[in-house]
Structure 1
Amino acid sequence: MIDPVTGFPYPDDWVSRIEDDTARALVEEGRAVLTASGAILRRGITTGATAAASAKAAVLSFKEAVSEVNLLLPCEIRVAVPVSGEEGQGRAVKDSGDYPEDRTAGLIFRADAVLEGDGIIIRAGEGIGRFTRDTPRYQKGEPAISPPALECILTAIREALSETGYPGVSVTLSVIGGVEAGADTLNPKVGVEGGISLLGTTGFVEPWDDHLGSAMEDRIRGADRVVITTGRIGLRISRLLFPDHEVILAGSRIGQALGALEGEAVLCGLPGLVLKFLVPDILKGTGFQTVEEYMATEEGMQRMQAILRERKYPDIRVVIVDRHGGIIGDSR
């Protein structure tokens, strides 16, 4: 059995511990994660995918009331998402799966659609944050909607237009309670105010608990060549850069992952988590609020190169990449 989201082949002894056929189906479909103990943890849906579900429901509801939509996620997996859609308004509730620390869990995502024109217009309404300053990827005033999330929303609306036969639509997205939730997240620290961000590289929210931490360590100990990475973008790029290695997603648990190593390995990912792990106070005295912004400057790049030359972990090759897959730093 292979996880269709990450490509991880589950060991046979893990699979043998599954006792419920329904749970097995969720794992096979990618909706859940199998752990070493046989426990199954359900994946949630990202904010971007939830917004997409509400948008699709809004457009479909011009024909008839909608209670569920079939949604194509950025990872190319289709999921059925419960919604409420009627007379051009769609609603979807954020499902966090088995991820108890999700601040956006239970928030209501609303889409108000108006049939007009021959294309698609998306507007960000109340509860969706906006950038308060220019960043390397966004301009001041732009809504905090990541490219994968935006494409997921556009795909959902295109499918709804195709099903209904309408030529064009304007959709305004909003999140009830998003202003308060956004203030409790990291958004203010990265220059986003007024709400939450619509995100989601795969469309799934990964569950996490001690079982998954143990599974990560088991995979590291059982692999001959290991690449530890920090996120979904790093996972994809690492597999391309190191096709003969076992690529293991550690998220923010880099220290735990390195502790399970019994030899040499590669740490590969975007600058943020990797550099903050190597030098936790890297931004102190720089005037920058995020590593990404700092790395957009010559000073930041020089600091990164100096950190890599220090070789804090001699047995670990550290490879820093950008979002397009280019290597911008290598300790080798």
Structure 2
Amino acid sequence: MGLKEQQPEKPLRRGYTTGSCAAAAAKAALTALIAQRPQLESRIRLPIGEDVTFALHSCECAEDRAVAAIVKDGGDDPDATHGALIVATVAWLEEGGEPGRIELDGGAGVGRVTKPGLPVAVGEAAINPVPRKMIREAVRDVLDGFELAERSVKVVISVPDGEEIAKKTLNGRLGIVGGISILGTRGTVVPFSTAAYKASVAQAIRVARAGGCDHIVLSTGGRTEKFGMELYPKLPEEAFVEMGDFVGFALTQCKRQGVRKVTLVGMMGKFSKVAEGVMMVHSKSAGVNFEFLAKVAEESGAEAETVRSILEANTASQVGDMMASLGNGAFFARLCELVCQESLKQMQGGVETETVIVSMKAELLGRWLANGEEGATS
């Protein structure tokens, strides 16, 4: 029997942002209000210049207001808001004031900004600038189409489960309370987008700096972040930023935002790469260099047999366990020192830099502090 022909992998399905859903819902609600007829779908133009039609989950209208809802489809991206109901309520405003004005606010389940550093002012609904523009353009399109450009309307965006969904996001740490943010710059969600993750890292650092934090703790994941919090219990929550695999990007953002001190907390696998100068540490981007680890071990006084064992190891974690069992603290100190040196190179100096390496069991393996000059450590 012959082997089955391998099927090509299906491309990941893209989705649409909460901003796109909100704009489409607002357009449908206003159309229903004017026509006094519930709508079945809504077509809008995305910021990338693409026209997209959204099916409505529900649409109801009365004489003075209308409500439309769309279920957010995040495509194949593991987004916390996938499946959320995005609701737009549109009502006529009283005559008076500037004609043709469009008031926009957030209702239940849409967060409210309480900290500076975000692209929305403190006190405003957490509806980002591009979605705001999209919603206003969608509303203006309807008014113009019905030759009602002088009429004024109020649009309220709400997300019934938004407060619960927000618990799965970093909104609380960023100072967004009471619900989710209405987001999006392209209008579409690209599955597993590195750009989206990097944008969230940059935003977290901006919020921390705007709140007066000059010491940022960058971690590679949840467990290392928890260790960092235990290490620095007096730092505010926003000082802790999960950089994931984007070490170089996070360091550059810290330097750009004027951070005084950076503490990097991670495990052997990713930090063994940083120690060599690799600043994007995803497993697909760079593998662990066991020859490099063996050389560091040799320089740290390891015996020849240990060096050979490192060369034959399968994972960096295995190397860490081996060196920890031998009590070779100099090995971890040297790795941390090298991480500090490479981090300072990335930032071109000027930032006090600390590296902390922990084990899979959240045990401290090594720690090193460097001053802000490239190549200078202590």
Please, what TM-score do these two structures have when normalized by structure 1? Answer: 0.57
Separation in structure 1 between the aligned mates of residue 255 and residue 44 of structure 2, nearest angstrom:
39
Match of 2:82 among 81, 90, 105: 105
Alignment correspondent of 2:59:
85
Contact 1:129 1:193 (C-alpha < 8 Å) held by counterparts: yes
Match of 1:287 among 210, 216, 236: 236
Change (3 A) 1:276 1:158: farther
Separation in structure 2 between the aligned mates of residue 94 and residue 298 of structure 1, nearest angstrom:
35
Change (3 A) 1:163 1:190: same
Contact 1:111 1:173 (C-alpha < 8 Å) held by counterparts: yes
Change (3 A) 1:316 1:270: farther
Say whether residues 1:177 and 2:161 are aligned partners.
yes
Q: CA deviation at 1:40?
A: 2.4
Alignment correspondent of 1:48:
19
Separation in structure 2 between the aligned mates of residue 305 and residue 277 of structure 1, nearest angstrom:
8
Q: CA deviation at 1:275?
A: 8.2
Separation in structure 1 between the aligned mates of residue 44 and residue 89 of structure 2, nearest angstrom:
18
Contact 1:144 1:198 (C-alpha < 8 Å) held by counterparts: yes
Alignment correspondent of 1:152:
134
Say whether residues 1:68 and 2:58 are aligned partners.
no
Q: Per the alignment, in what secondary structure is the counterpart of residue 96 of structure 1?
A: coil
Change (3 A) 1:131 1:70: same
Change (3 A) 1:234 1:207: closer
Match of 1:231 among 195, 198, 204: 195
Separation in structure 2 between the aligned mates of residue 164 and residue 290 of structure 1, nearest angstrom:
50
Alignment correspondent of 1:141:
123
- The residue type paired with residue 171 of structure 2 is N
Say whether residues 1:188 and 2:172 are aligned partners.
yes
Larger Rg: 2
Change (3 A) 1:233 1:133: closer
Give RMSD over aligned pairs.
4.0
Q: How many residues align?
A: 232
Separation in structure 1 between the aligned mates of residue 176 and residue 159 of structure 2, nearest angstrom:
15
Contact 1:48 1:198 (C-alpha < 8 Å) held by counterparts: yes
Separation in structure 2 between the aligned mates of residue 316 and residue 52 of structure 1, nearest angstrom:
41
Q: Per the alignment, in what secondary structure is the counterpart of residue 159 of structure 2?
A: strand
Contact 2:26 2:89 (C-alpha < 8 Å) held by counterparts: yes
Separation in structure 1 between the aligned mates of residue 79 and residue 263 of structure 2, nearest angstrom:
35
Structure 1: give runs of 5+ residues left out of the alignment: 1-16, 19-36, 209-228, 236-250, 253-268, 319-328
